[in-house]
Chains A and B, each alone.
Chain A
Amino acid sequence: MRGSSRIRPNAALVVGGVLTAILIATALLSLVWTPEVPTRVHIALRLKGPLEAGLLGTDHFGRDVVSLLMVGAWNSLAIAWPAVLLGAAIGTAIGTAAAAWKGIADEIAMRVSDVVFAFPAVLSAVMIGALVGSGPLAAVLAIAVFNVPVFARVARGVALQVWTLDYIAAARALGKHPLRITWEDVMPNIAGALIVQVTIQLALAILTEAGLSYLGLGVRPPNPSWGRMLSDAQTYLSQAPHLAIAPGIAIALSVLGLNLLGDGLRDALDPTLRGRSAAAA
């Protein structure tokens, strides 16, 4: 809520920013270039170790692991981004409305968000998968649903503070409509908190997407995904243990990068919040 928006760089911000930039660059690069065609089956070259064929070897179809990982980065973001943005949009609308009108509307919004919070994302995906068929759509919807209460709470919490400020009271006294106050005065003030939360939720969304595609509830084969690669790797664990390593590292580094970036942004935007990161996961 302070006027100063100067960003002070810190270690988490730099490391997280670099890791996230690598993730996004890899995903974008995979659209125009991969070392091999990621879907090309090459049975003669199946289950090769690292450097025997390609940098990280090949899977049970003889597909190049590096190429699969690169396309996997794109597929992971292609599910995580829309899911988090959808959840953030709906959640923020609910949260700011609850803060603007309070009373019974607030009570209902928070009760409903408690209800949604009781469903683990994987369980929502099972339920939504039963409804619309399991696939990318079910994965996006399940992750979005899980994000709605998270953003509703964050937006409501910060918006409630903003509503107590003197100049908002003045605006109300002048007869400014709550919707205009929310849009013109509240939103700019909660934007920082929302950006931080989006970053952290993206990390969680990538983790969830990996879990869903491990179960076969995400991106459909032959389209590669990190979770799918791990579930394939499990089948060939004794023959080709290296297949179980790289996709897991890719997931962990992506999640770590986004989490660090979120923490770093939080500290940089508002040093008074330092050390209060905790419960977001």
Chain B
Amino acid sequence: MLRLVISRLVSLVVTLIFVSLAIFLILEVLPGDPAAIMLGTAAREDTLAALRQELGLDRPALVRYVAWIVGILQGDLGTSITYKMPVSTLVAERMAVTLPLSLLAILISTALALPLGVAAAARRDGAVDRGVLVFSQLGVAVPNFWIGLLFILFFSTWLGWFPAGGFPGWDAGFWPALQALLLPAVALALPQAAVLTRVTRSATLEVIGADFVRTARAKGVDKSATLRRHVVPNALIPVTTILGLQLSFFFGGAILVENVFNLPGLGRLAYQALNQRDLVVIKDIVLIFSGIVIVVNFLVDIGYALLDPRLRSRA
């Protein structure tokens, strides 16, 4: 068990180094002169020189890379050129929107997908199964930002039940803040729920066909108990894998949905930073998003080994 954790940990660190190197190469080395990108073609030579000085671009690339990583490990993400404030402060503020939004969306998606998928598999080709198949095909096809737009149209413009966008901040109280996040979270969750429902359905079907399930039924365990005690726990393994992989889709979707609902989250910050060509902020946000995805998938991997003794010996 310890050996598995250590080997996974090594591979995690190597992956993170690869990712940070790739980001650094794309955003700092390939552009040639990042200062020229940030200020545009009309910039004067002396302002360019000043920015190069400020960003420390006169140092060799390797030194800058190491300085970036060491800074991050110490919680220093550098200073945003456009916001004139530490990126760590910016990120912390925005994280207070994106993190609850993503968690809420994952929660909604799982709460929809698990029961639907299991119910569909329990009676294959039944009415529920057909309905679930239609839901999953449609759900995958509909863009999350369009769902968001339709929600605003129905629930805000016509019914007036929800705010049309914006975020009052957590200081305004728990409920107003949660209310502002609810529609975006559902919009973000629906397409992913459709994918997860299909995965749950096929994983459940696969387990239902297994010998030990037939044995359980043969020795007289009733259908719902078999499902609850034997089928679902086993089907959860592939479902959790997909949920881990979906995290990057939740983050990608957050960039869109936060823009639809005008939420001051990390995704919106990334989008604004692109428009302002703030490479310092873009570099940090891309690393944070991809870093979280990688770390969570690592935890999912380790989580299995803890939950499922059979997986410990492999790896």
Contact = CB atoms under 8 A, between A and B. Distances in A.
Nearest to B37: A130
Contact of A123 (B27, B195, B252): B252
Given A131-B26, A251-B146, A252-B143, A122 B153 contact: no
Given A118-B19, A237-B153, A278 B142 contact: no
B274 A248 contact: no
A127 B138 contact: no
Interface string B226-261: 000000000000000010010011011101100110
Contacts of B273: 126
Contacts of A255: 140-143
Contacts of B27: 127, 130-131
Contacts of B249: 120, 281
Contacts of A176: none
Contacts of B146: 210, 230, 244, 247-248, 251-252
A203 interface: yes
Interface string A239-280: 001001001100111011001100000000000000111110
A147 B225 CA distance: 42
B95 to A, nearest CB: 16
Interface in A92-149: 111-112, 114-115, 117-123, 126-131, 134
Contacts of A237: 149, 152-153, 157
B271 interface: yes
Nearest to A16: B137
A252 B137 CA distance: 10
A22 to B, nearest CB: 15
B310 to A, nearest CB: 21
Interface in A47-105: none
Given A215-B259, A234-B260, A252-B138, A123 B270 contact: yes
Contacts of A277: 198, 202
Contacts of A215: 255-256, 259, 271
B289 interface: yes
A54 B27 CA distance: 46
A215 B293 CA distance: 23
Contact of A130 (B145, B153, B256, B279): B279
B274 to A, nearest CB: 5
A205 to B, nearest CB: 12
Given A248-B146, A276-B202, 11 more contacts: A117-B245, A120-B255, A126-B255, A126-B270, A214-B259, A251-B141, A251-B143, A252-B142, A259-B141, A281-B191, A281-B249
12 contacts: A114-B15, A123-B290, A131-B31, A134-B274, A210-B143, A211-B256, A248-B142, A252-B142, A260-B137, A278-B199, A279-B199, A279-B245
- Interchain residue pairs A-B with the least CB separation, the first 5: A120-B252, A248-B146, A256-B141, A255-B141, A118-B290
Interface of A: 111-112, 114-115, 117-123, 126-131, 134, 203, 207, 210-211, 214-215, 217, 227, 230, 233-234, 237-238, 241, 244, 247-248, 251-253, 255-256, 259-260, 275-279, 281
